[in-house]
């Protein structure tokens, strides 16, 4: 009887172990299928991600292309506007004819400068002509270059071509070469020692003294020049009295 019980126990244990192995095999099979599904899902995710990235790159390329296209068009428009503005600045203003009122700006003939006369005087005259003719700075520069002769024209040698239309650069070069600043002391000394010449009228003397004062104190304000007038007039008056007494 004891032997029969052992056999029964062994059969039950064997059956249980068989069922356990079946369950384990089934679970392992399920795990394998799940892992396959996970790997498949990961592949699909990578594919979708790659497709999305490609689409984004395409969109970025298209947007960048549009931006560059718009930028180029804007630059072209700006260039056209700047060109038109430059042409308008250089173009003389023509007012439409009016049957009731007709006005025309007088044209003053340009001057010439050869370096032998006073640069300060020429610059003043040139400013008056420029204003009368309504020139802008670009036209002033061109007219100033065209007016130079002889040694004055030599200041243009070696000057960059882009500076030949810059009024300030040209005026500074002429000022450095022909300006009256280095003659200031000479004119002041001549003014102090100026005396009436034999046979010279007081009117001529006064005009020459006024000329010397404008040269000697060219850089000074008008009120400083005016402050010198009393002593000068006093000197002229003394000369007139002396001339009368001698007569």
Kindly report, residue by residue over 17-51, the tens digit of the pLDDT: 887 888 888 888 888 888 888 888 888 888 888 88
DSSP single-letter state for residue 83: H
| Between 148 and 40, residue with greater pLDDT | 148
Given pLDDT bands bounded at 50, 70 and 90, which one contains residue 100? very low
- Residue 222 pLDDT: 62
The pLDDT tens digits of the residues spanning 188-233 come to 888 889 898 899 998 998 888 888 787 777 666 666 556 655 455 4
Is pLDDT at 101 greater than 50 in this prediction?
no
What distance in Å separates the CA atoms of residue 217 and residue 225, rounded to the nearest whole number?
7
* pLDDT score for 178: 83
Q: Is the pTM of this model over 0.75?
A: no
Instruction: Give the span between the Cα atoms of 43 and 69, in whole angstroms.
Output: 39
| Residue 58 confidence (pLDDT) above 70 | yes
Using alpha carbons, select from 245, 190, 242, 240 the residue that is nearest to residue 215: 190
Mean residue pLDDT of the chain comes to 79
pLDDT confidence of residue 223: 64
Q: Residue 218 has what pLDDT?
A: 66
pLDDT of residue 10: 82
pLDDT, residue 102, reads: 39
Q: Give the residue from 149, 148, 173, 139 showing the smallest Cα distance to 159.
A: 173
Nearest in space to 156 (alpha carbons), one of 145, 166, 143: 145
Statement: residue 96 has pLDDT above 60: no
User: Could you tell me the two tokens for 243?
Assistant: 């001339």
> CB pairs under 8 A, 24+ apart, for 185-188?
187/212, 187/215, 187/216, 188/216, 188/217
- pLDDT (tens digit, 9 = 90+) per residue, 123-132? 999 999 999 9
Q: Supply the pLDDT for residue 238.
A: 54
Question: What is residue 224's predicted lDDT score, i.e. its pLDDT?
Answer: 59
């Amino acid at each position: 009887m004891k032997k029969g019980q052992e056999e029964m126990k062994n059969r039950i244990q064997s059956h249980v172990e068989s069922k356990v192995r079946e369950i384990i095999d089934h679970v392992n099979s399920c795990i394998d299928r799940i892992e396959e599904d996970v790997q498949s899902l990961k592949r699909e995710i990578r594919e979708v991600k790659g497709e999305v990235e490609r689409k984004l790159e395409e969109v970025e390329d298209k947007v960048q292309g549009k931006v560059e296209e718009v930028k180029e068009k804007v630059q072209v428009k700006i260039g056209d506007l700047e060109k038109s503005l430059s042409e308008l600045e250089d173009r003389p203003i023509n007012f439409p004819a009016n049957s009731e009122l007709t006005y025309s700006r007088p044209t003053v003939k340009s001057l010439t400068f050869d370096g032998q006369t006073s640069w300060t005087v020429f610059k003043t005259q040139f400013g008056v002509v420029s204003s009368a003719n309504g020139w802008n700075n670009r036209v002033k520069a061109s007219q100033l270059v065209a007016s130079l002769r002889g040694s004055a024209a030599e200041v243009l040698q070696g000057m960059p071509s882009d500076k030949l239309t810059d009024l300030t650069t040209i005026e500074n070069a002429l000022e450095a070469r022909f300006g009256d600043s280095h003659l200031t002391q000479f004119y002041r000394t001549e003014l102090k020692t100026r005396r009436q010449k034999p046979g010279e009228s007081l009117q001529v003397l006064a005009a020459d003294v006024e000329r010397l004062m404008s040269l000697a104190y060219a850089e000074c304000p008008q009120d400083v020049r005016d402050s010198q007038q009393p002593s000068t007039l006093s000197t002229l008056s003394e000369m007139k009295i002396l001339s009368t007494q001698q007569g």
